[in-house]
Chain A
Amino acid sequence: MIERLRGPLLALWSAAVLAYLFVPVAIVVLFSFNDNRGRFNFVWQGFTLEHWRHPFDVPDLGPSLVTSLEVAAVAVAGSLVLGTLIALALVRHRFVGRTATNVFVFMPLATPEVVLGASLLGLFITMGVTTGLATIAIAHVMFCISFVVVTVAARLEGMDPHLEEAAADLGADGPTAFRKVTLPLIAPGLAAAGLLSFVISIDDFVITQFNAGQELTFPLFIFGATRQGVPPQVNVLVTMLLLGALVAMFANLAVQRRRSVADR
């Protein structure tokens, strides 16, 4: 009997978990429409589009988002380049210190963010570097590299290494083979890694808190706001970011689907 129930039970469980994942997100989106009286946004008081019409009314909010986007752009670019190079080395080559490198690259993931942030700040102070936009960007590139390596390496592993050999046989040298053969094939992996880095960078709070100096990023703004009442405009912007990420993901999926059709 259990056998018979297994199917629907599994589906039901999955639905429940997805709902569970979804509810807080729904609340964030919902409260962007809350017609709140005072400066707090916890109790539903009515529906309004006002906040959507003026999402940047709150001082410092717009600039903080711009700062976050700037940092994210640098983080994605930097980590994609550095991380992909590392991934290529790890997957395609055998060399002395490979295991050690593997472990080393994963270590930032195994280190609590508090530790990463605090120690990096210590370094900057010792070097006499003023913390600000540049130091935030440096920190973000640092912790995104590991994510990129994991994602791109996974994609590389799934790729047939003989394709590169074939290209070499046909007369292509290293960089050309990479450009014309490997790169297109791992492109979805790069896109995924890029999106992942972007999301992680935009969302980062702990490490940024230690290294921001005078700058205010979007999460830093939110944390400050939690003590005084988070304005609904924050909900609006978070929803916009969410929609943006969704669009990007759908686009990536659509491109992938078209590719797989074309490959057939």
Chain B
Amino acid sequence: MPEEPIDRIVERMLEGDDLSRRTFLRRLGTAGFAVSGAATLLAACGGAEGGGDEDRDVDVTHPKVPIRNWTFSNWPLYIDPAVIKDFDRRFGARTKYIQDINDNQEFFGKVRQQLQRNQPIGRDLVVLTDYMAARWVRGDYVEPIDKRNVPNVRNLQDNLRSPKFDPERNFTLPWQSGMTGIGYNRKRTGREIRSVDDLFDPRFKGRVTMLEDPHDSAGLVLWSQGVRPEEASIDQVLAAIDKIDEENRKGQIRRFTGNDYTQDLTQGNSWIATVYSGDVFQLREDNPDIEFVIPEEGGVIWTDNMMIPERAAHPYAAETMMNYVYDPKVAAKIAAYVNYVTPVKGVQEELAKSDPELARETLIFPDAATRRKLSPYPDLDAEDERRMIEAMARVTGA
């Protein structure tokens, strides 16, 4: 007798058919739960991470259940609030949307111990940048995605289909991409800015801010040293960080920032800064003299990824949200609001209907020429990444 598909079983259960519960539990037992059981055992034994990811069973089923309360953690100002409301209305849900991810490292530090102890972290969906997503996948901290619940994944842009850390997109799905480039105050600098080396022009001494995340800062400096960031070796990365250190000691760099470079730029405290493309629109609104440029040597492109943390209580809800935001209409709404680079196909056409000017905006829809100048972050293993982060921490003083 062919085994009954699990959704059929659940449907029967929901209809009150008791006999199928045994079948249901049996199926669960042979599928995903055996894997998590083993992982728990391993974790309990040594507190070490990594449960043999090559052999991981990624064929998981997240049964369709009614979506009620579930938790979605994201970066601040990264979604149009109307989208959440629409989602809730459409699915009768009550999404708890918390904007508590301010920094990849910091967020990881917050939930790290629970992850390592295989405890749920109280969130069903999180959004983290590539290198942190890679770390979570490596460390077995994520639930596989039941692609059956995310048919819209076919709308994923081709260039994002196969990252090294998740070649089949079994665990992650891009939320937005963004570019790191140079933002500057045209009036104060007195001239156009074109190159990474302009950051180190002595005329701007004390008027430069750089991002404290070495992925961004060292990434840009690597370009100026003739190295493509995603191909850089750890030694090249450390050399880039040395350059930043040197300039900092000279007093060239006013300070290192997180997302708060915006304040110094708008107030006129800094004249030139390493910035994220999505902030430019807001910056220009507050201060029309501010311009953004991808340096001629090259810029950096990064992607933030949606992931379901392991032991999440409502994976189906998370997957439904993933599917929802991959609908071009919804993706267009988000793109218009957050002004970052959308990973969903068909958004440009969709947006052209309502806001043609925005649809032409290269900051949201970079053309092929721009994309050639953009490189993802340096691709380092865990040990080298730690060395990079520690080296940068020494430069920024912490």
Contact = CB atoms under 8 A, between A and B. Distances in A.
Contacts, number: 63
B362 interface: no
Nearest to A226: B260
Contact of A42 (B121, B267, B283): B267
Which of B76, B81, B98, B114 has the most chain A CB within a 10 Å cutoff? B76
Interface string B15-56: 000000000000000000000000000000000000000000
B286 A228 contact: no
A214 B71 contact: yes
A42 B98 contact: no
Interface stretch (A20-28, A32-40, A247-255): A32-40
Given A40-B262, A130-B119, A213-B122, A224 B286 contact: no
Contacts of A227: 76, 102, 258-260
A184 to B, nearest CB: 45
Interface string B240-281: 000000000000000000111011001100000000000000
B100 A228 contact: no
B314 interface: no
A97 interface: no
Interface in B286-318: 286
Contact of B100 (A40, A42, A59, A216): A216
Contact of A59 (B71, B81, B119, B260): B81
Given A213-B122, A228-B76, A128 B117 contact: yes
Contacts of B370: none
A216 B113 contact: no
A228 B338 CA distance: 13
A130 B123 contact: no
B282 A130 contact: no
B77 interface: yes
Contact of A40 (B71, B259, B286): B286
B285 interface: yes
Contacts of B263: 40, 42, 229
Interface string A199-224: 00000000000000110100000001
A211 to B, nearest CB: 10
Which of B100, B102, B117, B283 has the most chain A CB within a 10 Å cutoff? B100
A60 interface: yes
A191 B156 CA distance: 61
A235 B77 CA distance: 19
Contacts of B113: 125
B123 A214 contact: yes
Given A213-B122, A229-B262, A39 B100 contact: no
Interface residues of B, number: 28
A60 B98 CA distance: 7
B99 interface: yes
B311 to A, nearest CB: 12
Nearest to B268: A43
B123 to A, nearest CB: 7
A130 B76 contact: no
Nearest to A230: B263
Given A214-B71, A228-B259, A37 B285 contact: yes
Contacts of B77: 39, 228
A214 B98 contact: yes
Given A125-B113, A130-B114, A227-B260, A38 B123 contact: no
Nearest to A213: B122
A37 B119 contact: no
Contacts of B123: 214
Nearest to B71: A214
Contacts of A213: 110, 122
Contacts of A60: 98-99
A224 B282 contact: no
A216 B99 CA distance: 9
Contacts of B259: 227-228
B282 A39 contact: yes
Contact of A38 (B76, B97, B98, B282): B282
Nearest to B84: A59
Nearest to B265: A40
A130 B122 contact: yes
B266 A40 contact: yes
A213 B114 CA distance: 10
Contacts of B97: 59
B266 A214 contact: no
A37 B98 contact: no
B81 to A, nearest CB: 6
Interface string A224-249: 11111100000000000000000000
Given A38-B282, A216-B98, 19 more contacts: A37-B285, A38-B266, A38-B286, A43-B266, A43-B286, A125-B113, A125-B117, A128-B117, A130-B114, A130-B119, A213-B110, A214-B71, A214-B123, A224-B102, A227-B259, A228-B262, A229-B262, A229-B263, A229-B282
5 contacts: A38-B266, A125-B117, A130-B122, A214-B98, A227-B259
8 nearest CB pairs, A to B: A38-B286, A227-B259, A38-B285, A125-B113, A227-B260, A214-B122, A228-B76, A38-B282
Interface of B: 71, 76-77, 81, 97-100, 102, 110, 113-114, 117, 119, 121-123, 258-260, 262-263, 266-267, 282-283, 285-286
